[in-house]
Chain A
Amino acid sequence: QKEVEQNSGPLSVPEGAIASLNCTYSDRGSQSFFWYRQYSGKSPELIMSIYSNGDKEDGRFTAQLNKASQYVSLLIRDSQPSDSATYLCAVTSGGGADGLTFGKGTHLIIQP
């Protein structure tokens, strides 16, 4: 049974600071890793994908992958109140077209 673990939070971060979200996964065969953002009452929206070890940056977001430690993280720089949401980590054994295994999500609150 594939498992994805996240701290459910809430994680409270002051506006302008760096928010750090973490995720671990159980299946060593996992190949593709995703971070989705979900606002309350809305559907998940993809914000980052990462496929190889190391860092991947996109604007204020940086995803980090360490396959040896089975660990994925998401850093949000210069956090804004609009970043307040639940962040879902998802993994799959194949490419992005495979069905995703999600964690429970981390509830992030950016305090103005």
Chain B
Amino acid sequence: QVRLVQSGAEVKRPGASVKVSCKTAGYTFTDSYMHWVRQAPGQGLEWMGWINPNRGGTNYGQKFQGRVTMTRDTSISTAYMELSRLRSDDTAVYYCASGIERHQLVPFYWGQGTLVIVSS
């Protein structure tokens, strides 16, 4: 079955960068867009962007443009999300979520989430 397994929790200082990984299994990695969504403590869901693992094309949410970079390594079916110039309000759980072939813009399958804490 489809599995998305994310890297572990991170604690970062303000101004630093964080890179979260999302290793996939159970489907053809290059067939489905990978989305990144975050959730601040006690808050709702916020879409950050997607990457097309096939050609590496990306679409970032306006709020994150200039600070987020989404990449992938097709040899190990893994997607990455790097957020730079971290601030305290970037403290959140970060999720990867994959679409499916005919519904690339619908996050069907989700990783377990990665907690990123930004604190001095």
Report if A and B associate in a common complex.
no
Q: A residues within 8 Å of B by Cβ?
A: none
Q: B residues within 8 Å of A by Cβ?
A: none
